[in-house]
């Protein structure tokens, strides 16, 4: 019997650990395992390679994905080059389904975020055999209590905050760190608490520059002449709406957020007269070695996904509920995003230690 593995969407620390765990579990049961290159593109273009023991050895600590990934190619809106070099979009799902059949794959494990998993669900409803593994540094999938890669991204942001603290203090400045997270404030909230931020701005809590300035001034009254602000890329700008960095044609979610940090920096300087600097952490949050907890979660997810495939429970994905790995229908992966609760315990704890949300 043969099975496939693909990774789709933005990469994330721990993907290789999932590939390794799933492949090892399947190989030990005598299954031939194949890896598709660059997500669904590899299935459409028939680009695949065997994942034998040698191919999945030494992967546990490696960031990225040995299979390659992309967050643009949607089989239902797939880019094709015309003779004159222009790009048109077409439905390539029939080709994809035919390729899965002709390659005689009993099941394919799709590791990805809401885009990849909703495509998997759509393909399952057309008869394909897929199971899912939720992945994203943003931690914004409600079907699972946590995604692997999130904690590593938070650690990277926290490390940046530790470094910004010392230079902020030396220069009596306001330092602003813009972090990823798409429409959820999880990375900002966790890193802000762990890194001792003074202000955290997230999409879930509307803020005003007057309240941010109030916090900065209150610190000055206490003799603290510097302040640290973490802002999630999805936090709303004053007047509403997110700051969009670019639009990616063909992508399931074409908006790429970015730029709110600079908006906050200008407003802070205008409102307080204090020098402010912005650091946009960017894709460094997606790279590097996964932390221990992410390696373990990724391994548990990989093993559970392989077992799901072996049991023939197509159309399902693995998820973390409390301390248990469970399975849920793929439809749940995208039914609603996971957002920070504005009156939840984490926000409460942050407020209790003096962090302002600018509200
Ligand atoms: O979903 C992961 C993520 O890193 C988001 O936090 C961010 O908004 C987006 O992907 C960036 O996408 P790209 O790699 O296309 O710039």
Strand spans (E) along the chain = 2-7, 32-36, 48-50, 78-81, 87-90, 105-112, 130-134, 174-179, 199-201, 227-232, 244-247, 255-257, 276-280, 316-321, 324-329
Q: Are 314 and 279 contained in the same domain?
A: no
Query: Which residues does ligand 1 sit against, CB inside 6 Å?
Result: 10, 71, 113, 136-138, 180-182, 233, 256-257, 286
Q: Are 107 and 166 contained in the same domain?
A: no
Model pLDDT for residues 172-207, shown as the tens digit of each residue: 999 999 999 999 999 999 999 999 999 999 999 999
| CA 183 / ligand 1 centre spacing (Å) | 11
Domain CATH for 207 = 3.40.50.460
Q: Are 236 and 294 contained in the same domain?
A: no
Model pLDDT for residues 58-107, shown as the tens digit of each residue: 999 999 999 999 888 899 999 888 888 888 999 999 999 999 999 999 99
Which atom of ligand 1 approaches the CA of 234 most closely? Answer: 8
Q: With contact defined as beta carbons under 8 Å apart, do 315 and 329 qualify? A: yes
Q: Are 269 and 170 contained in the same domain?
A: yes
Length of the chain: 359
- Active-site residue (options: 11, 38, 114, 138): 138
In a domain, 359, yes or no: no
User: Comparing 110-114, 237-241, 309-313, which segment has the lowest mean pLDDT?
Assistant: 237-241
| CA 61 / ligand 1 centre spacing (Å) | 22
> What pLDDT is stored for residue 245 in this prediction?
95
Tell me the best of 232, 247, 256, 283 to mutate to test the pocket of ligand 1, counting ligand atoms within 8 Å of each CB and taking the most. Answer: 256
Q: Helix, strand or coil for residue 17?
A: helix
The phi and psi torsions of 132 (rounded to 5 degrees) equal: -120, 155
Q: Helix, strand or coil for residue 349?
A: helix
Tell me the best of 71, 113, 152, 285 to mutate to test the pocket of ligand 1, counting ligand atoms within 8 Å of each CB and taking the most. Answer: 71
> What pLDDT is stored for residue 15 in this prediction?
98
Q: Are 89 and 66 contained in the same domain?
A: yes
> Among candidates 179, 205, 242, which has minimal Cα distance to 340?
205
Which atom of ligand 1 approaches the CA of 245 most closely? Answer: 16
- What share of the chain in percent tops pLDDT 70? 100
> Among candidates 242, 190, 302, 246, which has minimal Cα distance to 71?
246
Q: How many domains does the chain have?
A: 2
- Whether 52 is a known active-site residue: answer no
Please determine, for residue 334, whether its predicted confidence score (pLDDT) is greater than 80. Answer: no
Q: Are 139 and 173 contained in the same domain?
A: no
Q: Are 26 and 163 contained in the same domain?
A: no
In a domain, 346, yes or no: no
Please determine, for residue 144, whether its predicted confidence score (pLDDT) is greater than 90. Answer: yes
Task: Supply the mean pLDDT for the chain.
Answer: 96
Please determine, for residue 256, whether its predicted confidence score (pLDDT) is greater than 80. Answer: yes
Query: pTM of this prediction?
Result: 0.96
Q: Are 304 and 231 contained in the same domain?
A: no
When pLDDT is cut at 50, 70 and 90, the band that residue 229 belongs to is very high
Q: Are 162 and 26 contained in the same domain?
A: no
Range of the domain at 215: 154-285
Q: For residue 332, what are its two tokens?
A: 């749940």
In a domain, 341, yes or no: no
In a domain, 343, yes or no: no
When pLDDT is cut at 50, 70 and 90, the band that residue 253 belongs to is confident
């Amino acid at each position: 019997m043969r099975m496939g593995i693909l990774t789709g969407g933005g990469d994330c620390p721990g993907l290789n650990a999932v590939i390794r765990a799933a492949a090892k579990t399947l190989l030990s049961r005598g299954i031939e395992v194949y890896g598709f290159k660059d997500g669904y593109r590899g299935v459409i273009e028939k680009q695949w390679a065997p994942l034998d023991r040698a191919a999945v050895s030494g992967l546990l600590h490696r960031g990225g994905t040995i299979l390659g990934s992309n967050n643009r190619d949607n089989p239902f809106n797939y880019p094709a080059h015309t003779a004159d070099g222009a790009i048109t979009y077409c439905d390539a799902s029939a080709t994809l389904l035919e390729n899965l059949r002709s390659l005689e794959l009993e099941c394919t494990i799709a590791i990805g975020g809401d885009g990849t998993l909703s495509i998997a669900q759509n393909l399952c409803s057309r008869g394909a055999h897929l199971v899912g593994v939720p992945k994203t540094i943003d931690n914004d999938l409600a079907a699972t209590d946590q995604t692997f890669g999130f904690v590593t991204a938070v650690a990277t942001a926290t490390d940046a905050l530790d470094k910004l603290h010392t230079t902020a203090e030396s220069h009596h400045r306001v330092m602003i760190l813009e972090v990823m997270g798409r429409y959820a404030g999880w990375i900002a909230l966790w890193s802000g608490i762990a890194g001792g931020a003074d202000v955290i701005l997230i999409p879930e809590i509307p803020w005003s520059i007057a309240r941010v300035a109030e916090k900065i001034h209150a610190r000055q009254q206490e003799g603290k002449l510097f302040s640290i602000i973490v802002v999630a890329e999805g936090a709303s700008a004053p007047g509403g709406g997110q700051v969009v960095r670019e639009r990616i044609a063909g992508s399931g979610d074409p908006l790429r957020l970015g730029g709110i940090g600079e908006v906050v920096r200008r407003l802070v300087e205008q409102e307080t007269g204090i020098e402010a600097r912005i650091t946009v952490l960017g894709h460094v949050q997606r790279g590097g070695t996964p932390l221990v907890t992410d390696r373990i979660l990724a391994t548990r997810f990989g093993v559970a996904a392989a077992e799901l495939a072996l049991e023939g429970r197509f159309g399902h994905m693995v998820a973390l509920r409390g301390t248990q790995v469970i399975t849920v229908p793929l439809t749940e992966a995208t039914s609603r995003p996971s957002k920070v609760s504005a009156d939840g315990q984490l926000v409460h704890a942050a407020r209790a230690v003096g962090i302002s949300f600018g509200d």
